[in-house]
């Protein structure tokens, strides 16, 4: 494996990098939330606005993250400090990279428990197929999951063990090898399940929900929803993309890769809508059930549909892949920094990071029952971690990354990384990270802390 600056690894192929990046971007929230938000905000009218926001806001920040990662050839805090120093700026900019790692770690502590639910429900699908379950049974079953600390801990540790093994094996032999198998599998399952639904009742209603434009539903709230979804759905400011960028050889185009990642991420979200919502409409279930859609609403649909056993197993396999690949990106960003900053061997740093997440995940588990009434500023532990990462660290991190790339990093540094962009294309990107992205992310931040 090629390496620079000591033992720093590189992706061995563009395909491996793309699969890792798409896997990191596509998470559980993306799969159930995007189709629902689209349907509630005007269908294809929202999708059009979302795509504009993605390319005007999400793409410029993602390009900035990747180019800073590759230019700095290190984990986010070190990469940003190096690039800042080369641009005649303070190495204190490395703190922005540190914000990304803190966000990733905070998200992972809570996310690992939800990923554990997915693995648990995959086990339930394999063993029972949710046969005979109705709405009351589904709600009782999920309530029993939230009440079982031992069960949640077991499946959380199972997910973390899988993630840890992938990271433990290294960039090429672990992450790259895993995602080049897991992501094509996830895409294949999505397409198969969407085609399966195309010949079932409810598919027409799902198409209308997702794609029929209803401009009467479009307002200022729609624009803000689109901006927020565009920023959060592709995984920027979480350290993962900057870390993956540091493994990116110069022979691979950042610009072309970013467009592929964004388009793939959007297609996965739309395909997920064609997998989830036909069953919801077919059986008159609630499309606005949020996260409960996965664990309470869909099992009822699986129990009633022909081929429900196979559908349920494949569906939760697909969700498990999405959960694990996102966890890999979150943990790898922290792991890479510890490995490089302190000169610790990868297998030791992986054990330390995964172990730390596992210990703190106990607080997340207990917040669903025993510690549910314990409040920090009016929020329980999970809500506090979610607020801290999603409402504060991510928008601020994205804002500072854009400001750094547009105002503090030497223009020649970014131009040298974005070689496949025309002079006009680079100028447009530069204008976006200077004048468009910062105000948009400032709005997201202000709305998040004042809601």
Q: What's residue 231's pLDDT?
A: 83
Q: Are 268 and 187 in contact (CB under 8 A)?
A: yes
Beta bridge partners of 3: 9
Q: Count up the domains in the chain and report the number.
A: 1
Q: Quick one: DSSP state of residue 238?
A: S
Q: What's residue 4's pLDDT?
A: 37
Q: Is residue 96 included in any domain, yes or no?
A: yes
Mean pLDDT by 10 residues, the chain (451 residues): 53 96 92 85 90 93 97 97 97 98 97 97 96 92 96 98 97 97 96 92 91 88 85 91 96 96 93 91 81 87 92 96 97 97 95 98 97 88 93 95 98 95 96 96 90 71
Q: Are 183 and 19 in contact (CB under 8 A)?
A: yes
Q: Is residue 253 included in any domain, yes or no?
A: yes
Beta bridge partners of 379: 376
Nearest Cα to 347, choosing from 165, 162, 168?
A: 168
Q: What's residue 229's pLDDT?
A: 86
Give the pairing type, strands 3-4 and 8-9. Answer: antiparallel
Nearest Cα to 163, choosing from 358, 295, 385, 386?
A: 358
Q: Is residue 1 included in any domain, yes or no?
A: no
Determine whether 428 is exposed, middle or buried from the number of CB atoms within 10 Å of its CB (0-12, 13-18, 19+).
middle
Q: Give the structural domain span for 100.
A: 8-450
d(CA 259, CA 68): 17
CA-based angle 210:232:363, to the nearest 5?
115
Q: Which residues contact 70 (CB under 8 A, 6 or more apart)?
A: 245, 246, 248, 250, 254, 417
d(CA 367, CA 155): 16
pTM: 0.94
Q: What's residue 333's pLDDT?
A: 97
CATH number at residue 211: 1.20.1740.10
d(CA 422, CA 256): 12
d(CA 306, CA 312): 11
Q: Is residue 208 included in any domain, yes or no?
A: yes
Q: Are 353 and 409 in contact (CB under 8 A)?
A: no
Q: Is residue 24 included in any domain, yes or no?
A: yes
d(CA 343, CA 192): 45
Q: What's residue 5's pLDDT?
A: 39
Q: What's residue 244's pLDDT?
A: 98
Q: Is residue 2 included in any domain, yes or no?
A: no
d(CA 360, CA 348): 19
CA distances from 61 to 12, 77, 252, 253 (A): 25, 17, 18, 16
Tokens of residue 304, six digits: 């009633």
Q: Are 237 and 398 in contact (CB under 8 A)?
A: yes
Positive or negative, the CA dihedral 32, 38, 40, 44 is negative
């Amino acid at each position: 494996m090629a390496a620079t600056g000591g033992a720093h690894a590189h992706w061995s192929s563009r395909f491996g990098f793309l699969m890792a990046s798409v896997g990191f971007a596509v998470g559980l929230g993306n799969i159930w939330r995007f189709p629902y938000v689209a349907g509630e905000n005007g269908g294809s009218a929202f999708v059009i606005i979302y795509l504009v926001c993605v390319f005007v806001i999400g793409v410029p920040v993602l390009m900035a993250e990747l180019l800073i990662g590759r230019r700095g050839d290190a984990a986010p805090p070190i990469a940003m400090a190096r690039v800042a120093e080369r641009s005649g700026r303070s190495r204190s900019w490395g703190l922005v990279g540190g914000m990304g790692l803190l966000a990733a770690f905070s998200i992972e502590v809570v996310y690992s428990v939800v990923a554990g639910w997915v693995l648990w429900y995959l086990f339930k699908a394999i063993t029972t197929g949710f046969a005979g379950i109705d709405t009351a049974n589904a709600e009782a079953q999920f309530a029993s999951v939230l009440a079982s600390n031992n069960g949640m801990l077991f499946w959380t540790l199972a997910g973390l063990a899988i993630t840890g093994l992938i990271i433990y094996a290294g960039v090429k032999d672990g992450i790259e090898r895993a995602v080049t198998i897991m992501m094509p599998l996830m895409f294949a399952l999505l397409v198969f399940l969407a085609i399966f639904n195309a010949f079932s009742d409810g598919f027409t209603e799902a198409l209308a929900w997702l794609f029929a434009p209803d401009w009467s539903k479009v307002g200022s709230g729609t624009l803000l929803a689109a901006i927020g979804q565009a920023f959060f759905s592709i995984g920027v400011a979480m350290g993962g993309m900057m870390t993956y960028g540091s493994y990116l050889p110069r022979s691979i185009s950042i610009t072309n890769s970013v467009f592929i990642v964004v388009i793939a991420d959007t297609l996965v979200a739309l395909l997920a809508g064609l997998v989830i919502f036909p069953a919801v409409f077919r059986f008159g279930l609630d499309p606005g059930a949020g996260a409960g859609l996965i664990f309470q609403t869909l099992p009822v649909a699986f129990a009633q549909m022909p081929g429900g056993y196979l559908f349920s197993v494949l569906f939760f396999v697909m969700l498990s892949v999405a959960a694990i690949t996102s966890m890999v990106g979150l943990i790898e960003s922290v792991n890479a920094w510890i490995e490089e900053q302190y000169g610790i061997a990868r297998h030791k740093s992986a054990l330390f990071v995964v172990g730390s997440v596992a210990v703190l995940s106990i607080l997340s588990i207990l917040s669903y029952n025993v510690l549910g009434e314990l409040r920090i500023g009016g929020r329980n532990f999970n809500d506090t971690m979610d607020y801290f990462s999603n409402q504060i660290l991510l928008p601020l991190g994205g804002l500072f990354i854009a400001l750094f790339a547009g105002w503090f990093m030497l223009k020649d540094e970014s131009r040298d990384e974005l070689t496949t962009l025309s002079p006009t294309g680079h100028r447009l990107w530069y204008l976006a990270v200077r004048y468009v992205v910062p105000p948009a992310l400032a709005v997201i931040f202000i709305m998040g802390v004042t809601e």
